[in-house]
Amino acid sequence: MNLDEFKSEVNKLGVPVTEKEINLLEKYYNLLIEYNEKINLTAITEKKDVYLKHFYDSLTLVKAIDFAKIESMCDIGTGAGFPGIVIKIFYPNIKLTLVDALNKRINFLKEVVFELGLNDVNLVHARAEDYAKDNREMFDLVTARAVAKLSILMEYSMPMVKINKFFVAMKGQDDISVSNRVLDVLSSKLEKVICFELPKEAGIRNLVLIKRVGDISLKYPRKYSDMKKKPL
């Protein structure tokens, strides 16, 4: 998708695009390509593909979430910053936390935050399940794109979400159903699954929107090995 197509598709999502956001995205793209030569950040490098499959795809979160109502957001397993950095570019007032288990990706994000002049971004090198232990009920919104199986993602994420606030898993075509048992154990409610196709027939996407509705036992999230051995 070229820049004009990007602007037009983003407008269709109901998100205004000005030169300010485009300039920041261009800088972000250049840094992504520069650092991708030294550290593995993404297999998608053609500009038109990055704009469609990373930038536009990240913004599709607006189909599930009204960002005017979000003060704090945590993106777990953010990698090169998707969807977190793109959301921050369009909604600069959000207090953003980005968590990734790989320090080289966090170091890349430090550079992005500095070069783009983004404020209120907390970069955390940690496993999400460890970070969640000390950051319970901290966020209006937790997101994850392409990080782990949905039940594991929920165990990482729901304890961090404030009561009556949301987690969104950004998924492809698979792994979009969640059992009542998982929802019960994590005091959560499946609000909806929003299915759509990316422009240019670039694939089916699903946004799984889950609301936290009550307290969650302090034993969650468990250690990763326990989650694997004994899935919820």
Binding site for ligand SAM (CB under 6 A): 76-80, 82, 99-102, 105, 127-129, 145-148
Rounded to a whole number of angstroms, the minimum distance from the CB of residue 147 to ligand SAM is: 4
- The rounded distance, in Å, linking the Cα atoms of 194 and 28 is 28
Rounded to a whole number of angstroms, the minimum distance from the CB of residue 61 to ligand SAM is: 12
Pick 98 or 183: Cβ nearer ligand SAM: 98
DSSP state letters, 72-101: EEEEET-TTTTTHHHHHHH-TTSEEEEEES
Rounded to a whole number of angstroms, the minimum distance from the CB of residue 126 to ligand SAM is: 7
* Secondary structure letter of residue 52 according to DSSP: I
Question: At residue 127, what are phi and psi to the nearest 5 degrees?
Answer: -80, 140
Nearest position to ligand SAM, beta carbon: 79
Pick 16 or 101: Cβ nearer ligand SAM: 101
**Closest to 130 in 3D by CA, of 184, 54, 77:** 77
Cβ atoms of 28 and 85 within 8 Å: the answer is yes
Rounded to a whole number of angstroms, the minimum distance from the CB of residue 19 to ligand SAM is: 26
Rounded to a whole number of angstroms, the minimum distance from the CB of residue 60 to ligand SAM is: 12
Contacts 24+ apart (CB under 8 A), 225-229: 227/129, 227/152, 227/155, 228/152
Pick 148 or 209: Cβ nearer ligand SAM: 148
Pick 127 or 211: Cβ nearer ligand SAM: 127
Pick 6 or 84: Cβ nearer ligand SAM: 84
